[in-house]
Structure 1
């Protein structure tokens, strides 16, 4: 671990021991590490962090905790790792405290996504970085649905729970909740007791940027699965090598995007392109030139019901909810922007720009020499 920070300046390593530091037999309790290029890369990503824990296969039975984010191309960027003895309040408070101190420090408006582990929920209450007004804590929708299904054991209700969580509009969320209530009043009460903003996209306020699950952190867990039988130093080295490979691969990918002169990453471009094509079917039915507000009617396709969405270009808002949630102009906003003679491409949030993607992977890793 010493060589890691020696040859890669800025890399953070924190230790915590069960025994006092002057005790002749130190027993490892917690160890935390985060690589400087990943920490710097987070400054160019959406302020959303997913955390998760998984068990080790060694005789010590430690747990591996991971914090990750998504880059401008919607790819996982590992941010921090820790080995702890158990998943509880103490270990999660220590880990998340280090994440706040070393990774998200200076970043306002961070959204933390996790499962509903009691240790995480309790730890967040004592960490202002992940509580309003500095940040928020959200639940993984997949875990909410899994817990919901464990209680009521009904696949149809589970599907409705998921449908309610991913709705962009409050009216559609309410309609789905009513369907749950009709099927099972107790199930409705169960979900109603969970704060809506914690698991519902329609009530999130845009904090989670459309990211509904902890799948991104579980993805890294899967990548490191082969290391979970190895000694601690081997696990650290494998996490190091994995991050190095991510940076190499994504620099190469950014070069290809630069050759195409794309303004944004492939992920943002595909979403913008999809909604641009859809906007052709819309039309502006009412507008106010001064306030840059408009009512946009959808469709015209045979068999499709017409809907009207209210767009406010000045506040970057649309009643469909997608613009606020994803940071990319929805089809209604694109239609309205063109009506006002504006370039809708200029409304894409800056964290999707190709320059941000390039800067995310601008940091350097250096070889670790044997000592």
Structure 2
């Protein structure tokens, strides 16, 4: 088994499904390897000056440093945001308090700045040092309330779905078979999504499945709202939510022109998968390379006893809440 690291870039398509963008095998996660990877992403996926991108990752120092060398991922072209799951995991590792961990997640996932402030005050009341720890992280990088709409609601990086789905059973193979399996399974993935998009279009479906369900839910919710327009050109309005169960009667301001919209149009969904994968010729037909491949035995590790792990390593963020509270109470006693 080799020591190489697999870098993966993923996004969500118009049907809210994971879309793998790029895979790369590197020796280590360094500033140099991440810089090269980001440069390739910018070259092939962000060719236009008006392209906008939000990069969500953990807080790996190599990646954070690499962003400074790739303008496509720096404001105003792009922004970098932290995975909320990793922030909460680091927070919990330091303070080891289930209630604080839950509040940390709620604060990061809250879309209202007013409610975010209330949650932060709860954290401050429990542990002022924990409050200061979160305060030292730029709020735009870990909270939905201060994100400015760049995340479009995405809080975490869930690479395990892509790695387990596309590369299941391949990670312990030599490098060439890993590349071949990645190519073949990615091609099948795109083919399946193209078939699904064609089905939607042939059925005269105007929205992708996910967007259609979301639209129906929002339409039912909108019946309970009163809209008063203020500016037609700016498409701004006030929205009042009616009281159904004792809650409601809140007034919100909506400015459509300043929002980013993922419309879920089926044509946009199909366009995502319109690029074709080409079959790979036999090795005897490959173009000659201008470098020598040198076998490096130090990049191989001796396999230990037992079965190799093939899923994401679990940590305290995966512990069920009830059991986590029991463990915490046991430690306190």
Q: Is the 8 A contact 2:230 2:238 kept in 1?
A: no
Is residue 2:14 matched to residue 1:102? no
1:65 equivalent in structure 2: 7
SS of the equivalent of 1:181 reads: helix
CA positional deviation for 1:180: 0.9
1:229 equivalent in structure 2: 172
One of 131, 134, 140 as aligned partner of 1:197 = 140
Note the aligned Cα RMSD (angstroms): 1.8
With structure 1 as the length reference, what TM-score do the two structures score? 0.71
2:76 equivalent in structure 1: 133
Distance 1:89 1:358, change over 3 A: same
Q: Residues of 2 paired with 1:91 and 1:244: CA distance?
A: 26
Query: How do 1:282-301 and structure 2 match up within 5 A?
Result: 282-284=225-227, 286-288=228-230, 292-301=235-244
Query: How do 1:1-371 and structure 2 match up within 5 A?
Result: 58=1, 60-106=2-48, 108-215=51-158, 217-223=159-165, 224-284=167-227, 286-288=228-230, 292-313=235-256, 315-316=257-258, 324=259, 327=261, 349-350=262-263, 352-371=264-283
Distance 1:206 1:188, change over 3 A: same
| Deviation sequence 1:132-174 (CA, Å, 0-9, x none) | 1221111111111111111111111111111111111111111
Answer with 76-85 or 301-310: which moved more: 301-310
CA positional deviation for 1:255: 2.2
Q: Residues of 2 paired with 1:79 and 1:152: CA distance?
A: 36
Structure 1 spans left out of the alignment, 5+ residues: 1-57, 317-323, 328-348
Q: Residues of 2 paired with 1:146 and 1:241: CA distance?
A: 35
CA positional deviation for 1:199: 0.8
| Deviation sequence 1:320-363 (CA, Å, 0-9, x none) | xxxx47x2xxxxxxxxxxxxxxxxxxxxx45x211111111112
Distance 1:80 1:293, change over 3 A: closer
Q: Is the 8 A contact 2:9 2:22 kept in 1?
A: yes
Q: Residues of 2 paired with 1:226 and 1:121: CA distance?
A: 30
Q: Is the 8 A contact 2:67 2:73 kept in 1?
A: yes
Q: Is the 8 A contact 2:55 2:73 kept in 1?
A: yes
Distance 1:293 1:129, change over 3 A: closer
Q: Residues of 2 paired with 1:102 and 1:287: CA distance?
A: 41
Structure 2 spans left out of the alignment, 5+ residues: 284-333
CA positional deviation for 1:278: 0.7
CA positional deviation for 1:311: 2.6
